[in-house]
Amino acid sequence: MIIGITPLSLRWSCLGFERLPMNSLAQTLHRSSLRILTGLLLLAGCKPANRAPEPLPAEQIPAVMQRAFAAAKPEAKQLIDQALQSLGSKDYPGAYQALQAVSAAPEVTKAQLLVSARAMLTINELLKSASASGDQSASTFIEYQKHNR
């Protein structure tokens, strides 16, 4: 006569949990599931603080750049003036290169670097549209960028 064997107890013993009483097993599973749930909630709540910068509208670039670099060293101001002159004359490769030089300068602050990066994103889009409309210097510059990254 077999007394006390139920399908549930057979199932648990087949999985190798016969040594653990059901109460202890339930507590272990409960703790594990709480740890996993807590970890998932923490991961879901953590958002990276760094995200891609938004491009500046083209008409705002001169004012924003002059404001950001108002207290910059003369070398950086000269490069900004050069970039803005190139941008005004629709020399997008020249503007882009001047902003690259500004970004590489060691004295540039994080805020200035962010403004430069946003302006470069806009100028990159202007380069693409100029190239699509037949501007040979823009097309040449884009090809140069592709091959020299």
List, for residues 9-37, the tens digit of each pLDDT value. 445 455 555 555 556 655 666 566 656 66
Rounded mean pLDDT of the chain?
80
Residue 34 and residue 62 in one domain: no
pLDDT at 149: 73
Residue 93 and residue 118 in one domain: yes
Residue 130 and residue 77 in one domain: yes
Quote the pTM value: 0.65
Is residue 138 over pLDDT 80? yes
Q: Give every CB contact of residue 136 below 8 A, 6+ residues apart in sequence.
A: none
Residue 39 and residue 69 in one domain: no
pLDDT per residue as tens digits for the range 77-99:
999 999 999 999 999 999 999 99
Look at residue 93 and tell me if it is in a domain.
Answer: yes
Look at residue 2 and tell me if it is in a domain.
Answer: no
Look at residue 30 and tell me if it is in a domain.
Answer: yes
Contact status, residue 102 vs residue 65, Cβ threshold 8 Å: no
Provide the domain limits for residue 104: 58-147
Number of domains composing the chain: 2
pLDDT at 1: 46
Helix (H) or strand (E) segment spanning residue 49 = none
pLDDT at 118: 94
- Degrees (nearest 5) of the Cα angle 10, 15, 21? 70
Look at residue 116 and tell me if it is in a domain.
Answer: yes
Residue 75 and residue 41 in one domain: no
Other beta carbons within 10 angstroms of residue 126's beta carbon come to 20
The SS3 call for residue 32 is helix
State how far the Cα of 30 lies from the Cα of 23, in Å rounded to an integer: 11
pLDDT bracket for residue 53 (50, 70, 90) = confident
Residue 41 and residue 73 in one domain: no
pLDDT at 147: 87
Residue 25 and residue 67 in one domain: no
Look at residue 51 and tell me if it is in a domain.
Answer: no
